[in-house]
Amino acid sequence: MELAKSAAKAADAETLLDLYGAIGEESVDDELRAALLALTREGAQRGWWHSYRGVLSPVYEDLISLEAEATTMQAWQVATVPGLLQTAEYARETITSTAMDAAIAERVSALVEIRLARQSVLTNREEPLRLWAIIGEPALRTKTTDPSVIHEQLARLARMAELPNINIQVLPSTAPPNVGQTGSFTHLGFGAHKDLDVVHLESLTNAIYVEDAPQVSLYTQAFERLRAAALPVEQSLALITEARDKK
């Protein structure tokens, strides 16, 4: 289980929770315990992404499974559109342009399929994921190989911004120095169970998860600063629409 070669069963999780309490580690209350056991049971079920096992890295699988269970997502992207809001052609161009080895280049079509399938959490759940995305203005000004690609991407952003569970803000290029300059990040929230919140950080060569509560809290504060620095939702939509019409 520790090597992620086999999934934990609910009975395993119960035994471990009892053990941690017995050896003096911090115990969990009944509500959190029930949530952890529910996640364990649901984790044993095969998600759609398991059919892509030969394509996905373990870290990417983790991200998809977390998105499937999260109730909220706060995404800050410096210069690209968040994956959950991308069109197929924009996703293809961004994946292709950032592929640094032949193995990824050979799997572009499958990775595009996966990126689009991930987007179902925004529309195909009884309680859709609530997404708050802040996008750096350079993402709106990107010159794609085919101008129609960025035009359609901006049009999709405008459509998605109208959904009740999605808010989109743009951080203008004229904004003063801010915490967003340290890089993109995504915060995944699990409602009342703050202990389960996690931050996803991605770089050219790898991706990591920040799970330590004090550090996760810092990213929450950073996102609030970015929300204050970005254009209001209505002005952001107007800027997206203006950029679209110029393409």
Token pair 């999934």 is at which residue? 7
pLDDT at 218: 97
How far is the C-alpha of 60 from the C-alpha of 186, rounded, in Å?
13
Average pLDDT for the chain: 90
CATH architecture of 49-246: 2-Layer Sandwich (3.30)
Q: What share of the chain has pLDDT > 70, as a percent?
A: 94
Using 50, 70 and 90 to split pLDDT, how confident is the model at 83?
A: very high
Using 50, 70 and 90 to split pLDDT, how confident is the model at 44?
A: low
DSSP 125: S
Residue 26 has pLDDT above 70, yes or no: no
pLDDT at 76: 98
How far is the C-alpha of 210 from the C-alpha of 216, rounded, in Å?
6
Answer whether 85's CB lies under 8 Å from 157's CB. Answer: yes
E strands of 162-204, at which residues? 166-171, 185-189, 198-202
Answer whether 86's CB lies under 8 Å from 97's CB. Answer: no
Q: Give the alpha-carbon dihedral of 214, 219, 222, 223, to 10 degrees.
A: -130
pLDDT in tens, 121-177: 999 888 999 999 999 999 999 999 999 999 999 999 999 999 999 999 999 999 999
DSSP string, 5-70: SSPPPHHHHHHHHHHHHHTTSPP--HHHHHHHHHHHHHHTSPPGGGGGTTTS-HHHHHHHHHHHH-
Q: Are strands 185-189 and 72-77 parallel, antiparallel or unpaired?
A: antiparallel
Residue 23 has pLDDT above 80, yes or no: no
* Residue 233: both structure tokens together: 């939702």
Structural domain boundaries in the chain: 1-45, 49-246
Q: What share of the chain has pLDDT > 90, as a percent?
A: 66
pLDDT at 152: 97
Lowest mean pLDDT: which of 104-108, 125-129, 179-183?
Answer: 104-108
Residue 45 has pLDDT above 60, yes or no: no
pLDDT at 85: 98
Residue 215 has pLDDT above 90, yes or no: yes
